[in-house]
A and B are shown apart, each in its own frame.
Chain A
């Protein structure tokens, strides 16, 4: 007698394998999917660079393919996915980088025609929560967002700083932010962020309080499938959570529900919130994909990555109703030893 598994066999492709000090969420997303007992899953890692740790980690990706950088455009991405799909028969793709989402959203209908499911926001939803549009978005939907100004030239900086008063937050188009207490610091941050991410630069009013984040999942019809709030306990010099704990704060759940209801958000996202001492939740940023700490939602009882896979396959899910408060994650650094032959395979052939 053979013991045949009745679990659904799935092939899921995941990006964001850069589990570094400013980590992508891919490894955490994969762990969540692997933890789900409903699937018998084969994971295809999609990488951009040869030294992304998730390429080499045991038990993470079964096979890895490099894909073209977002700047190469959506056609180039589609061509590469067609090649990978011909070999792997992908069921679902989960992109995890802000910068690649635009291309993936653009080709999502064609992926669907190929039999590949995604669960992504629309371009409209994606752009509404962009840093550049966030303040207007907040005004429209009655959500608290700090005042900001998008600038394209250094000469605009003194006036904006004068209007907001120091300190100010100088933010890059995609990533990174610096708190500037003087004009000189703000100018330095402008140059650094411009060199790294390009223009525009966003200058934001500084709000003090407790930094909390919510990882959430919307079903695209205005319903919140999951929302788990987390307080950062240890923050790196890059502003990333290196440890965090789930908290019980209905204001944060309500805020996430309001955001999903207003946008009809489809997919995973993270809201970064500053909770002021008088309890006002200011939305600092909305990241249009799962955060790197998404595995905490699995630990707290709401497996968001696995839920997203199910929704990408067309399943209707009931919202989660509870999660465990006081669950911690503590990230760690680990020296993985591999052979140069592995590095050579991914570098030379784009596959491992």
Chain B
């Protein structure tokens, strides 16, 4: 899965999809995950980086991560390439 390469994500968690003008807000963890996905990191790498930065349980992270990614897909923020 790849995040759209032209997606703009600010430090405050504001997301702008230039392809259709949609905008969203996420928290800083969400913004970090999107930026890590954009840079091509795998799930394991993201889990490690988020775990280093925030206090999070592995099982809970995995569940929340997949929920979050599914939301990104629902909002067409994932590239089909």
Residues B20 and A212 in contact, CB atoms below 8 Å apart: yes
Residue of B whose beta carbon sits closest to that of A328: B21
Residue of A whose beta carbon sits closest to that of B22: A231
Hey, which chain B residues are within 8 Å of A210, CB to CB? 20
Residue of A whose beta carbon sits closest to that of B76: A277
Expressed in whole angstroms, the minimum distance between the Cβ of B24 and any Cβ of chain A is 13
Q: Does A271 sit within 8 A of B, measured CB to CB?
A: no
Hey, which chain A residues are within 8 Å of B21, CB to CB? 212, 230-231, 233, 244-247
Hey, which chain A residues are within 8 Å of B19, CB to CB? 247-249
Main secondary structure of the interface of A (DSSP, over half): strand
Residue of B whose beta carbon sits closest to that of A210: B20
Q: Does A90 sit within 8 A of B, measured CB to CB?
A: no
Residue of B whose beta carbon sits closest to that of A233: B21
Summed over the interface, the residue pairs from A and B with CB atoms below 8 Å come to a total of 24
Hey, which chain B residues are within 8 Å of A231, CB to CB? 20-21
Q: Does B16 sit within 8 A of A, measured CB to CB?
A: yes
Hey, which chain B residues are within 8 Å of A244, CB to CB? 21
Cα separation A230 to B19 with both chains bound (whole Å)? 10
Cα separation A247 to B8 with both chains bound (whole Å)? 12
The digit string for B53-70, where 1 denotes a CB below 8 A from any CB of A, is 000000000000000000
Q: How many residues of A contact B (CB 8 A)?
A: 14
Residue of A whose beta carbon sits closest to that of B19: A249
Expressed in whole angstroms, the minimum distance between the Cβ of B74 and any Cβ of chain A is 11
Cα separation A275 to B16 with both chains bound (whole Å)? 18
Residues A325 and B20 in contact, CB atoms below 8 Å apart: no
Q: Does A326 sit within 8 A of B, measured CB to CB?
A: yes
Q: Does B18 sit within 8 A of A, measured CB to CB?
A: yes
Cα separation A275 to B19 with both chains bound (whole Å)? 11
A266-302 CB contacts (< 8 Å) to partner B: 275
Hey, which chain A residues are within 8 Å of B39, CB to CB? none
Expressed in whole angstroms, the minimum distance between the Cβ of A26 and any Cβ of chain B is 26
Most buried by A among B6, B8, B16, B21: B21
Hey, which chain A residues are within 8 Å of B6, CB to CB? 248
Hey, which chain B residues are within 8 Å of A230, CB to CB? 21
Expressed in whole angstroms, the minimum distance between the Cβ of A84 and any Cβ of chain B is 41
The digit string for A212-254, where 1 denotes a CB below 8 A from any CB of B, is 1000000000000000001101000000000011111100000
24 inter-chain pairs at a CB distance below 8 angstroms, sorted by A residue, are A210-B20, A212-B20, A212-B21, A230-B21, A231-B20, A231-B21, A233-B21, A244-B21, A245-B21, A246-B21, A247-B18, A247-B19, A247-B20, A247-B21, A248-B6, A248-B18, A248-B19, A249-B19, A249-B20, A275-B20, A325-B18, A326-B8, A326-B16, A326-B18
Residues of A with Cβ closer than 8 Å to B?
A: 210, 212, 230-231, 233, 244-249, 275, 325-326
